[in-house]
Structure 1
Amino acid sequence: MTDLLIEIGTEELPAIPFLKEKPQILQKFYQILKEYRLECECMFFYTPRRIVILSKQFPVQQQNTTEEFFGPPKQVAYNGNQPTKAFESFLKKCNITAEEVSFIQKEGKEVLYFKRAVRGKKSEDILQEIVKKFINSLNFGKSMRWGSLEESFIRPIRSLSVLLANKPVFMEIYGIQNEAKTFVHRSKTFDKVSFTSIQDYQNKLSSMGVILDPVARRERILNQIQAIEQAEGIQVELDLELLEEIVAITEYPNALLGRFEEKFLKLPPPMIVTSMKENQRYFATYKGGKLFNGFIVVSNALSDDFALIVKGNERVLRARLSDALFFYNNDLKNGFKTEQLESVRFIEGLGSMLEKSQREAKIVQILGERYQQELVKQLQKKHNEVMGLLAETSLIAKGDLMSESVYEFTELQGVIGSYMAEHLGFSKYTVDALFDQYLPKMQNDPLPRHLFSALFSLAYRLDNLMSLFSIQRIPSGSKDPFSLRRAANGIIRIVAHEKISFPLTEIFTTIAPLYQKFDLNELEKFVLERLDSFMDVNPSLITAVLKSGERDIYAIIQKIDALQKVLAKIDNKELNATFKRVANITKDMDLQILKAVNTEILYATEERELFNQFSSIQMQQFDSYVQEIESLMALKPLLDRFFNVVLVNAPDEALRENRKTLIALIYKAFLRIADMTEIAF
């Protein structure tokens, strides 16, 4: 075992594509080492100008191995006692003589066989091959060519340092000769710096403005931010994605506090934060729970005086916020220009954004009527007042799309509208609904804060789904350009959070007249398929509940949860055997037209006990699906005794049909919850 260093020196790596590939980089190197029988522990480091692999236990030679060769069957290899061409081909393939061949049994046949030991190659002899394969394995999305090379990479490779046992290994990759030289921080020198060993490499970087370890850079940033917080009495909003991005673009980070004029705090805080984060990679600061007129910028410069750097960043942010304040003040003067949505096309074949907003308004009214009791209770208003507020909110819901502010900050659509509505004196519920109407955008995003807001989010998603399915823009494979899977996921999350009944078939049918005709069953299936990603359960539980015919999303979720809780307490294999027998008995019966059980011909004790217990359950009112399932599950031992003692297919037709009817009624009662035969234990 010995030390290994691989440094691929590049021009500045773009952070976003690099961070997407980062989790796979070391695993890809490990996979290559496995292929070459050089498995060992390695460390992975990076800065914006280098990708580095280090190992303290790198094998000096491949592990020895063996190679096996299987040839044609004996009867093909020989014609009588004479070798055939197939035999000669096997010798040539293995580069051996006839005396070295043996026979072995394989798949019931005696075939030619040869086995030889393979001595591992020295690591230094194959490192060039390994490094080149490693570079080629990295996938950052787009790549580029430079110079006269045909090879491509995310950015031009400018240096290569591969040292084994502190000695450079002779190689050339991408036109770059391997050498014990590296680039340090540009504030120190633009030239390559020589080093004599792996330890010297680390020392040179450290002393010349490069912190190689990203964990150390992250800790440095966090420690500096904490010191600023304590000194200034502020709190810094640590966006972890932004932090990782800054770690990836700095070699020697320094966190600094900048400030902007208090007049800009008149802007909606999301506009300020977005301007700082998205355009400048600044962290927002807060004081007393409110946005503070300061920001954290992380510099990559080496300096004893950062005053000029801070002033430069303050000047850039001031210009951006001045523009934002100008746009926002204009928007407040002009108000919501909803009528101008007519000039903006939604999607080809689906009309304008005005038409989309009108469709959503109608859906909101439909949902408002469906959930009127909950809304009246929540808003503490009369029914007609609630419906009026829904209509008023719908009129301006998409109005901010025509604002100058949203034109500049497209990701803040809805958010800017909510601040405008608040300034213009609209109801708190209207303000909330405008802010929440696009939530959740991503998997872990917050949900609308109350049912009133949730109706606008549901309407937005329902319109997207219905309209795009109506023109056959249906996701296929991994392609989903209009994020319809995300829309379906959002509906499920909102319904589960609000705990509201949401019968898909009924709701789709009610709003279908707003769209061109299409197969509603296809959309229903599409939405229900998203339950798999929402619920962390045995997928067969979802299938079982859906086979019952249930199409109310919240009821489906409740039933699945209840099944999971109950089944966790019982022997599932025995249960499965019982219900398979039940299903086999009733498979040819129409469960919708069952007769009543004739109690006068329940002769066997076991069938009377089963009937009486089942009848008792049927008369009960249950507070939850768990109670109902547990009561039905209590029939299992009675069912087992019934099957063990009673002859279901009795010669007497009346007895036979009566017993099958009893079993069918029990099966039908279970089907109100789930088809138990679908559950895979």
Structure 2
Amino acid sequence: MTDMHPLLIELGTEELPVKALPGLAQAFFDGVLAALDKRGIAVERGDARPLYTPRRLAVLLPGVAVEQPEQRSEVLGPYLNIALDAEGQPTRALQGFAAKAGVDWTALARTSDAKGERFVHRAVTPGARTAALLPEVLREAVAAMPIPKPMRWGDHGYAFARPVHWLVLLHGDDVVDAALLGLRSGRASRGHRFMHDAPVDIARPGDYVTALETAKVLVDADARRSRIVSEVQSAAQAVGGEARIEPDNLEQVNCLVEWPEAVAGTFEAAFLAVPQEALIATMEANQKFFPVLRDGRLTEHFIGIANIASTDPAEVARGYERVIRPRFADARFFFDEDLKQGLSAMNAGLATVTYQARLGSVADKVARVAALAEAIAPQLGVDAALARRAALLSKADLQSRMVGEFPELQGIAGRDYAKQDPALADLDSDDRTALANAIDEAWQPRFAGDDIALSPLGKVLAIAERLDTLAGGFAAGLKPTGNKDPFALRRNALGLARTLIGSGLDLDLPALLRLAWASVDASIAEVEADRREQAAETARRAGVVLEAQVEGSAAFTGADLDALYDFILDRLKGYYADRGAGVQQFNAVAALRPASLYDFDRRIDAIGTFAALPEAAALAAANKRIGNILRKVEGDIPADIDPDLLREPAEAALAEAVAALQAEADAALARGDYVSVLTHLARLRPQVDAFFDGVMVNAEDPALRGNRLALLRQLSARLGSVAAIEHLSG
């Protein structure tokens, strides 16, 4: 068995880019493994994974073979008719091949393929020592790393993500001599920059993690992350709260420190009058702190992670507090100034902000959304006037100072301003709260996995907003192409679908799309009219008379409706795939193009249940066969089945079974109980199988043939009443 020794590679650097660090570490790790594999060097990987800190990238493998296996090569030479002359002597072609291989031609072997017999040179050479190959393995792995902006230092020609300062390369207990980026390998690593400013000699690879931990460096990113979470949670509990630990913030902090130590800080409680989302955003995005909550509300406490075990944590905390205070003061200033202006006053500024050249200003969009909300509201049991009023204020906060500084607070800021806007004092407490919350919920879901709007009024605004965005995008020719989607139409389509499905809203989507398009059509016509009027006025001033006309609106067509509906359905493919519904099941329901996406969802669930039945495959194949038969029919098929023409026992039995099923299945279909419908249909399998086994559909007698086709058409209508089940076949 090949001897195996552990392998350690550590590349020490200046602080690496935070967001790129995990990817760089993984690429380095993968590159080393790929280079070893390329050379046939056996590796025992075990549970090895990339090791890294802000100042180092490391690969630690529990076992790497000390040498390559024997290297076998096979080089094909000329065919015999070219290699040998009539006397069987070698031609120049064969002699040249043998000379290149370094052997006499008589030492060559022969092999055969489809073209005949030919010469071949086979060789076996001992494998190289791994230590001799590791320098090139290392260089190859580094060269393959994705470094978008390599940095140069000194007067040499090489570059890396950051300047490098040391290189450890051990195979077993021995240092492997190698040169890389101006460094010579050794066994000396380095500890924490401040708490252990001295070399750390690594005796053997297995000592690496422990030796660095002794030197105040946690090189295992998982261990470092766990320590951060534990430290933050303990510090938050000590002040009577619960830390908010967002994955992205945690990952960035993990890439900033080598020895994490939690330090609790506080800020003035007066800042809590500012929307907590603004304070949380600046803590996480700007300072990489962890906010402390109590019962879901922000407290005046936060947790920072120091990259040192300080002898004076209180001074560190004071430093954190000095850093955070100016940002909070800015947020408080923005908030107070916005309150003085008032949400209603902010709305006026939207008329000066262009939404899209053909679709007018943001104020024009708000007006369209308000009209849609007013029309949709009664279908959700929401007061239409309140829906219109909420929609008219739904984008006012885009003109606020707070959103200008913190764009992620769109809707959130508007919610808080609405609660305090004197212009809304005429509303009772419940309506005012509902309106304020709906301004926030109109933006939901904001991202993948986010919750949909919770309140009925919020759902109305969320639906209206996305309908207008989608219809406007398509009418203005902004349909996404490739990766380009400047108006986020894909995200809006999925958000609309999720809201309708998740809320159980049985709304007619094509009707809503027509309504939205009509409103967009009017806007485009109005914008075009204004543009032409301005052009005419400019011409008049120049002494030229132009007639101001309106033309080129985006009149809605059936093709537009189909394209927009299909675009929304396409977004649902991934959504249902994540829920376990296969493409065949999705296509089976999509083929029926249900008007309601909530109805679409119920059909998807039902077809999933049906697909698991033992009868499903046979009935799907049968319906596919029926469809093929009916498509080839020339002429009319009788509307009804004539009982007197049911000559064969199998066709009579099928007709009887379909008729017996009709009332029960139709009742279940009417109440949307699609699982029951398909369960009933599954009972038809014996009769369907018997029919196709014993009945000739295309009988010579036209009357018999027509009657059998009528029976098949009725059967197909029943089988396809919930979904086009033929999509489940093959």
* TM-score normalised according to structure 1 size: 0.91
* Contact 1:451/1:498 (<8 A) preserved: no
Matches within 5 A, 1:74-223: 74-75=80-81, 77=83, 81=88, 87=94, 90-91=97-98, 94-107=101-114, 109-139=116-146, 141-188=148-195, 195-198=202-205, 202=209, 204-223=211-230
2:338 alignment counterpart: 331
1:365-424 CA-to-partner distances (Å, cap 9, x unmatched) read: 3433xxx24x22xx5xxxxxx110111001110000000111111111111111111222
In structure 2, the residue matched to 1:643 is 692
Give the Å deviation of 1:489.
1.9
Determine the structure 2 residue equivalent to 1:530.
571
Q: Does 2:505 match 1:500?
A: yes
Which one-letter code corresponds to 1:44 in the other structure?
P
* Distance in 1 of aligned mates of 2:191 and 2:219: 10
Alpha-carbon distance, 1:7 to partner: 0.7
2:677 is matched with 628
SS for the counterpart of 1:397 is coil
1:404-483 alignment, distance < 5 Å? 404-424=401-421, 427-483=432-488
Aligned residues, how many? 669
The residue that corresponds to 2:546 in the other structure is none
Q: Which moved more, 1:38-47 or 1:278-287?
A: 38-47
Match of 1:605 in 2: 649
CA distance in 2, matches of 1:427, 1:273: 26
| Residue in structure 2 matched with residue 31 of structure 1 by the alignment | 34
Alpha-carbon distance change, 656 to 204 in structure 1, aligned in 2, over 3 angstroms: closer
In 1: Cα distance, 2:516 partner to 2:637 partner? 32
Structure 2 Cα separation of the partners of residues 563 and 116 of structure 1? 61
* C-alpha distance after superposition, 1:118-150 (max 9, x if no partner): 432111111111112222333255443334455
Q: 2:625 aligns with which of 581, 590, 594?
A: 581
C-alpha separation in 1, matches of 2:594 and 2:295: 50
The answer as to 2:19 corresponding to 1:16 is: yes
The 5-angstrom pairing of residues 536-575 of structure 1 reads 536=577, 537-575=581-619
Give how far 1:364 is off: 2.3
In 2: Cα distance, 1:93 partner to 1:633 partner: 72
User: Alpha-carbon deviation of 1:262?
Assistant: 0.9
Kindly indicate whether residue 64 of structure 2 is the aligned counterpart of residue 58 of structure 1: yes
Q: Does 1:40 align with 2:44?
A: yes
Match of 1:9, as an amino acid?
G
Q: 1:109 to 1:254 in 2, by over 3 A?
A: same
Query: Which residue in the other structure is 2:710 paired with?
Result: 661
* Distance in 2 (alpha carbons) for counterparts of 1:195 and 1:149: 29
What secondary structure sits across from 1:463 in the alignment?
helix
Residue 728 of structure 2 is aligned to residue 679 of structure 1: yes
Distance in 1 (alpha carbons) for counterparts of 2:99 and 2:616: 59
Which position in structure 2 is the counterpart of 1:344?
A: 353
Shift of 1:253: 0.7
SS in 1 for 2:72: strand
Question: Which one-letter code corresponds to 1:676 in the other structure?
Answer: I
Contact 2:375–2:384 (8 Å) recurs in 1: no
Deviates more, 1:502-511 or 1:197-206: 197-206
User: How far is 1:351 from its partner?
Assistant: 2.8
CA distance in 2, matches of 1:93, 1:562: 70
Structure 2: distance between partners of 1:601 and 1:649: 14
Amino acid at match of 1:535: Y
User: Which residue pairs with 1:390 in the alignment?
Assistant: 387
Show the counterpart of 1:359. Answer: 368
1:249 maps to 256
Do the aligned partners of residues 94 and 662 (structure 1) sit closer, same or farther apart at CA in structure 2, a change above 3 Å counting?
farther
CA distance in 2, matches of 1:300, 1:145: 27
Cα 1:591–1:524 change in 2 (3 A) is farther
1:107 & 1:627 partners in 2: Cα distance? 61
Q: Residues 633 and 140 of structure 1: is their aligned pair in 2 closer, same or farther, counting only changes over 3 Å?
A: farther
State the alpha-carbon separation in 2 of the partners of residues 301 and 70 from structure 1: 64
Q: Is the 8 A contact 2:616 2:682 kept in 1?
A: no
Q: Distance between the aligned counterparts of 1:524 and 1:112, measured in 2?
A: 65
Distance 1:175 1:475, change over 3 A: farther
Distance in 2 between the 1:458 and 1:20 partners?
38
Match of 1:619 among 659, 663, 666: 663
Mapped to 1, the partners of 2:513 and 2:611 lie a distance apart of 33
Aligned mates of 1:324, 1:110 — CA distance in 2: 84
Unaligned runs of 5+ in 1: 380-385
- Does the 8 Å CA contact 2:468/2:517 hold for their aligned counterparts? no
Instruction: State the alpha-carbon separation in 2 of the partners of residues 466 and 600 from structure 1.
Output: 54
Q: Percent identity?
A: 29
| Partner SS state of residue 218, structure 1 | helix
SS at structure 2 position matched to 1:440: coil
1:60-91 deviation per Cα after TM superposition (whole angstroms, max 9, x unaligned): 11233423334455445556556566655654
Tell me if the contact between 1:209 and 1:302 (Cα under 8 Å) persists in the aligned partners. Answer: no
Equivalence for 1:263: 270
Question: Structure 2: which amino acid aligns with 1:308?
Answer: E
User: Separation in 1 of the partners of 2:273 and 2:636?
Assistant: 65
Question: Are 1:4 and 1:166, in contact at CA under 8 Å, matched by a contact in 2?
Answer: no
| Partner residue, 1:382 | none
